[in-house]
Structure 1
């Protein structure tokens, strides 16, 4: 049964490190949550390590720059593991070919195509029209407000050609302020539903947790899984991913599931129990907002 807690500080001494989701937990896509920032700063001041584990398709340098714009200070975290970096490693190993059709917003996602230093001999990746492509790189929809179904014609063609789709962000939706937007995960789910093959590298899939553990190991020689707490508002990304990694989780109910859990300041206990039973994913702890 999920235990509702009043603040991170009630349980934080049990953990040496946090794997913290960003969107919906630390910021709303526009600005930082002051209480969340203060909670992470206090945790680090007590000796804990904070790894931001995000399904952003950006490289970690791009995530850090964006956090600065949102007002998240550098002393609120130690390192960043992004879905973008995990997926880029696969891209430059040639997992979807060398000629790729790109889906996303180039002005925002251009950094995805910058080679990683951890790949000794990166594949020579070029962007091409779909008709010339050997694979698809999806950082997001061309229009985040449009129904993913508008891509059916292209996806049918891609499926018939046997193209793999590399999904740089498994999130289905995010809330930017008060506006809900589609993410790359919605397109990948549609492609899979149509019979295509989608490759995932962010939460809840293992590659991003491997990257997060590598980031953590660079800061501290060894942290046992029992001493890591995952924090997030995505029941099928953050919380399901934590369960798959055998680590405890803190579910932020005031994010994507605010309506389902009837969260005002805190979730309604009965609504929370009904929600986790329906989704068949059980967090260790829950709280309305990270604080």
Structure 2
């Protein structure tokens, strides 16, 4: 496995690309504060004529993510468009309407379901499961759902998981996401359907939007994905045959940056364990 090229900043190779498909959590903010240097880097790429599509596994339509970006102080100049797992997942949900669905996740994710004609019910009456994450991601773990998932798997209920992320960084803490629940459900024999990263539906949507913004077809070799998640960002980019910039200071920051600088041997170990590769790598996204 070839190690990615270490880059001092995005400016070192930005001329190779017209479009960045950039992750959000762990790259441009941590859920509590924006990363100014990352925002400046993306704004500089756009100022040079490129497009930045933020591609997030947030389980809500993009309006909610845009509201959060504004609240955290991410400048509008840093991005061209936002595409979310929620946007892509709505198609899967519509195919299973009217349900009823057993809805797992916090109330803040309810915009995902607006206008789809879905009905909701308790687990025992459901025809499928819709999962955006734990009900309480501050306190719950996947183990809190094991027995209920065992019963659902026995009934062969499919699960639509709107957020494939296993964990995400919130401040200095890692919290469980929908993907952790989906992973457990699969381990118990359940069927899990996903549209977000690393699955193809969200990339199809993002690339179609990129073509619209550019006014014509986008050459795939001129697209680079940016992210901190080997299982989602890197695996998705690899499956699409797209170049990818790995940001080490995200969910694997403690392992890969534990000595204060990027530990190439540890990064390569993480990549080998996950079966992924990257084209470029840097500790944090900077210009």
What band does the TM-score fall into relative to the shorter chain? over 0.9
Query: What's the TM-score, normalizing by structure 1?
Result: 0.94
Which residue among 146, 151, 161 is the counterpart of 1:167? 161
**CA shift for structure 1 position 128:** 1.1
**1-side partners of 2:268 and 2:129: how far apart?**
39
**CA shift for structure 1 position 192:** 0.4
Which residue among 246, 251, 259 is the counterpart of 2:254? 259
The aligned runs of 1:88-167 (5 Å cut-off) are 88-94=90-96, 98-106=99-107, 108-115=108-115, 122=116, 124-144=117-137, 145-167=139-161
Secondary structure of 1:163's aligned partner:
coil
Greater shift in the superposed pair: 215-224 or 190-199: 215-224
**2-side partners of 1:204 and 1:78: how far apart?**
21
**CA shift for structure 1 position 270:** 2.5
**2-side partners of 1:266 and 1:67: how far apart?**
28
The aligned runs of 1:40-59 (5 Å cut-off) are 40-59=42-61
Q: Is the 8 A contact 1:251 1:283 kept in 2?
A: yes
Secondary structure of 1:218's aligned partner:
helix
Change (3 A) 1:224 1:265: farther
Greater shift in the superposed pair: 155-164 or 50-59: 155-164
Greater shift in the superposed pair: 267-276 or 72-81: 267-276
**CA shift for structure 1 position 85:** 0.9
Task: Provide the aligned length of Structure 1 versus Structure 2.
Answer: 282
Query: What's the TM-score, normalizing by structure 2?
Result: 0.95
Q: Does 1:213 align with 2:207?
A: yes
**CA shift for structure 1 position 97:** 5.5
